[in-house]
Structure 1
Amino acid sequence: MRKRADFLAANSGKRASTPGFILLVRDRKDADPSMRVGFTVTKKIGGAVVRNRMKRRFRALAREIVPAKGVAGSDHVMIGRANGIERDFELLRSEFANALDRLRA
């Protein structure tokens, strides 16, 4: 996802909070079954290096987990939290999978 309007629309969907990030999932209600993913990390988290590192970690998680556990026809947005960069990658992986499971139920 690249357009600001898509990110704002995702804010009206379901949300799941974890210590490392907030996950938003919004059904687009169109005929397209593809799953789109977007990432947001604000300047409050840190400088450009820290924000880019966090987004790279989020991309790796999304590449691995969204095809298997994502919601078809939906937009998925991950919003970084302050202690997300320090969390163990395996812990982030399990939190992301659990958050998707909660939102699908």
Structure 2
Amino acid sequence: MLTLKASSDFQRIAKAGRKWTGSAFIMQVLKSEDASSPFRIGFTVSRRVGGAVQRNRAKRRLREMVRLFLKSGAPKGYDVVLIAKTSAGSMDFAAMCAEFQKGIAAMGVALK
């Protein structure tokens, strides 16, 4: 799993990408100029989510959700940012995964 680290990448995706809102997270997706570029993902968990323990739990759950999604094959040419909401740390994990699949489909991310 390639992760986005640079602030400029997050800003570029926020400015030019499409946005989908779920109950546990907000998903921002930008199709890369190069269709053969690898799938990259970034995670944002602000202090609004809670203390350090809640933020770390939310990040772990988001990473695991994406890891399970990518197990079936990573789509190429997309940059995705997941912004955690307060419920990301406490929502049922299966429901969160289903919500992620729904968001990916709504954003038109073509699977392999």
Q: Report the TM-score when normalising by structure 1.
A: 0.90
Letter in structure 1 aligned against 2:31: D
Distance 2:105 2:20 in 1: 10
> Which is further off, 8-17 or 87-96?
8-17
The match for 1:8 is: 11
Matched-pair contact (CA < 8 Å) for 1:69–1:100: no
Q: For structure 2, list consecutive stretches of 5 or more residues without a partner in the other structure.
A: none
The match for 2:49 is: 45
The match for 2:22 is: 18
Q: After TM superposition, give the deviation of residue 71 of structure 1 in Å.
A: 4.3
How many residue pairs get matched? 105
The match for 1:89 is: 93
Q: After TM superposition, give the deviation of residue 33 of structure 1 in Å.
A: 2.5
Distance 2:19 2:75 in 1: 13
Identity of paired residues, percent? 31
Task: Indicate yes or no: 2:79 matched with 1:80.
Answer: no
C-alpha distance after superposition, 1:7-55 (max 9, x if no partner): 1111120111100000111112125430001100001111111111100
Distance 2:44 2:8 in 1: 13
Letter in structure 2 aligned against 1:41: V
Q: For structure 1, list consecutive stretches of 5 or more residues without a partner in the other structure.
A: none
Distance 2:21 2:73 in 1: 17
RMSD, aligned α-carbons: 1.7
Letter in structure 2 aligned against 1:79: I
